[in-house]
Amino acid sequence: MTERGKEQKIRMIAFDLDGTALHRSKGLTEFTKRTLEKAARSGKMIVAASGRVWAALPEKLTDMQEMEYFITGNGSSILYRKQGSQAVERIYGKDMEPDKVEAMLAVAADYPWPMEVFMDGAAYARADYVAHPTAFGASSDIYVRTTRKPVADIEDFVRRNISHIEGLNLIVADMEEKRVIRSRLEKIKDVYVTSSVPRYLEVSRGGVCKGTALQYLAKRLDISRDEILAFGDGENDIEMLQYAGIGVAMENGEKKLQAAADRIAPDCDEDGMAKTIQELIFDGENEL
């Protein structure tokens, strides 16, 4: 099938948030929001697919009643919200196995870096990190402080909730040490290790990623992979773009992802995702 034929068949648009749908400083712009709403009105299923958990998603996005499905936690959860409702239901969940959590804690204990814990749609982190995120390499104080709940003893918190951990992050500012830690984490059998931004090491259950969650949702909705258009910018998006019929990497995205993509969209700060949707789905028309 020609690429144009694929474009005309698109029934689902799946997209990452940070570095993809979201402008670096402005968040979800009105142009991108209106483009997604227009796509939904035209019958396309729009699905956010993020490393974030539900509580950390932008309100401007979750307020969009046109969006019924959300892939969160790098694919550890799929949430469903009936149109007109504020309540969300977890229809797919792949939490970490307790012994794998213990194995990660053993590695993390050898290093000073703060840990983030994702559980029941919320994010928790070490209290000193939440108080001063940029001191540990975070790019924004505001985002961390408003989306992470502080915990005095994060290791104890994890062990007390070990049977329902969606995922764990380490915030590592030293790139050489990050490489060493990642190598150790990847030796743990049946865990998935990825990195959406340079300072993050993100760990979830083996076999869990945005691609497998998207595959599950597509089958549930009787949508074939050829009918999916997916956008991303980071390493944690690669499986999703490979699964989709058309995988689009952002111009600001990682080179490895760009090499695996079918197309390259303009930079996220240029509303590149929305412009590409306009081009592929609406023949470039800009009336919203």
Evaluate the CA torsion angle 279, 285, 270, 227 in order and state its sign: negative
Query: Per-residue pLDDT for 141 more than 90?
Result: no
Query: Per-residue pLDDT for 5 more than 80?
Result: no
Between 286 and 48, residue with greater pLDDT: 48
Least confident stretch, 63-67, 155-159, 233-237? 63-67
> Quick check: 257 and 275 in contact, CB under 8 A?
no
Query: Per-residue pLDDT for 4 more than 60?
Result: no
Mean of the per-residue pLDDT values of the chain: 94
Q: Supply 234's token pair.
A: 């980071």
| Length of the chain (residues) | 288
pLDDT confidence tier of residue 275, bands split at 50, 70 and 90: very high
For residue 135, give the DSSP letter. Answer: G
* Residue range 162-183, pLDDT digits in tens: 999 999 999 999 999 999 999 9
> Quick check: 232 and 238 in contact, CB under 8 A?
yes
27: left (phi over 0), alpha (psi -120 to 50) or beta: left
pLDDT of residue 140: 74
Q: What is the Cα–Cα distance from 4 to 1, expressed in whole angstroms?
A: 8
Q: Residues near 262 by Cβ (< 8 Å), separated by ≥ 6?
A: 3, 241, 246, 247, 248
pLDDT confidence tier of residue 288, bands split at 50, 70 and 90: low
The pLDDT > 70 percentage for the chain reads: 95
* Residue range 216-241, pLDDT digits in tens: 999 999 999 999 999 999 999 999 99
Rounded average pLDDT over 113-130: 96
Residue of 24, 73, 107, 92 whose CA lies nearest to 202: 73
What 3-state class would DSSP assign to 45?
strand
Query: Per-residue pLDDT for 116 more than 50?
Result: yes
pLDDT confidence tier of residue 287, bands split at 50, 70 and 90: low
pLDDT confidence tier of residue 139, bands split at 50, 70 and 90: confident
Query: Per-residue pLDDT for 1 more than 70?
Result: no
Q: What is the Cα–Cα distance from 107 to 109, expressed in whole angstroms?
A: 5
pLDDT of residue 284: 66
pLDDT of residue 7: 57
CA end-to-end span of the chain, whole Å? 29
* Residue range 237-262, pLDDT digits in tens: 999 999 999 999 999 999 999 999 99
Rounded average pLDDT over 92-114: 97
The pLDDT > 90 percentage for the chain reads: 88
Evaluate the CA torsion angle 61, 63, 65, 71 in order and state its sign: positive
